[in-house]
Every structure is written in structure tokens, then in C-alpha cells.
């Protein structure tokens, strides 16, 4: 089961990375959500097999480790915050331009054409 979760985490990371590298803000938003889920699945796979509840007081040798649960909760909160911020940016970009496509920056193209030399 843990190997299956590791394969699933790798697949989710691959799909999320592919979506983040797209030019549309909506795909980038979905890609970041998939990357957040991939991080949670990776933490679930790294936590090992299920054990006894960590705070029941019966024995420390069979108790589950509460650290992966805390890390997953933290990852969920951070992912939600980043997605909310990116959704606001995507909406603002769509409201101003009528499209969610990310355009090239003219200044970046000028610097790339000059070989990376920046004039002061």
C-alpha cells in the first residue's frame, strides 16, 4: 500500500508540475492544487503503517507518530492560502485583460536578446 501511495504521489507531482508550466492562470491554479494534494499523499506515504492513537496512554511503542498529521495540516493551510491568493491574482488579470493567459514581458525579451547585459 505504501508503494502505491508513493507512485500516486509521484504521478500527482508530475501532473501538477506539467500544469504549473502552462501559460494559462487557470491551469496554473489547478496545478498548484494538484501539487498540494501530492504533498499530502507523500506525507501520508512517509508516515508508515497505521498505529494506535498517539495520545491514549497505553504504550509508546505501538503509538502512531503525530508529526506527519501536523505536517499535513500545515500543508493544507499553506496550499489553501496560496490558492486563494493566486485566484485573486487570476481574477484581477482576467478583469483587466479579458484573458487569463500570461504574456511575455517586453523587458525580459530585450534583456534576453542583449545576452543578459543590463544597461544602467
pTM of this structure: 0.78
Residues 6+ apart with CB under 8 A from 85: none
Does the pLDDT at position 71 exceed 80? yes
**Measured distance CA(112)–CA(62) in Å, rounded:** 58
Q: What is the mean pLDDT of residues 2-31?
A: 94
pLDDT, tens digit, 9 for 90 and up, residues 19-67: 999 989 999 999 999 999 999 999 988 887 776 666 666 665 666 777 8
**Model pLDDT for residues 75-116, shown as the tens digit of each residue:** 999 999 999 999 999 999 899 988 888 887 888 888 888 876
Distance CA 83, CA 34 (A): 11
Amino acid at each position: 500500500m505504501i508503494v502505491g501511495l508513493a507512485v500516486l504521489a509521484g504521478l500527482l507531482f508530475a501532473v501538477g508540475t506539467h500544469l504549473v508550466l502552462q501559460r494559462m492562470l487557470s491551469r496554473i491554479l489547478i496545478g498548484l492544487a494538484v501539487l498540494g494534494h501530492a504533498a499530502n499523499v507523500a506525507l501520508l506515504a512517509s508516515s508508515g503503517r497505521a498505529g494506535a492513537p498517539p495520545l491514549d496512554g497505553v504504550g509508546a511503542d505501538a503509538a502512531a507518530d503525530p508529526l506527519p498529521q501536523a505536517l499535513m495540516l500545515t500543508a493544507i493551510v499553506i496550499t489553501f492560502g496560496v490558492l486563494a491568493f493566486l485566484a485573486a491574482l487570476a481574477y484581477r488579470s482576467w478583469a483587466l485583460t479579458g484573458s487569463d493567459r500570461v504574456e511575455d514581458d517586453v523587458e525580459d525579451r530585450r534583456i534576453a536578446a542583449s545576452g543578459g547585459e543590463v544597461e544602467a
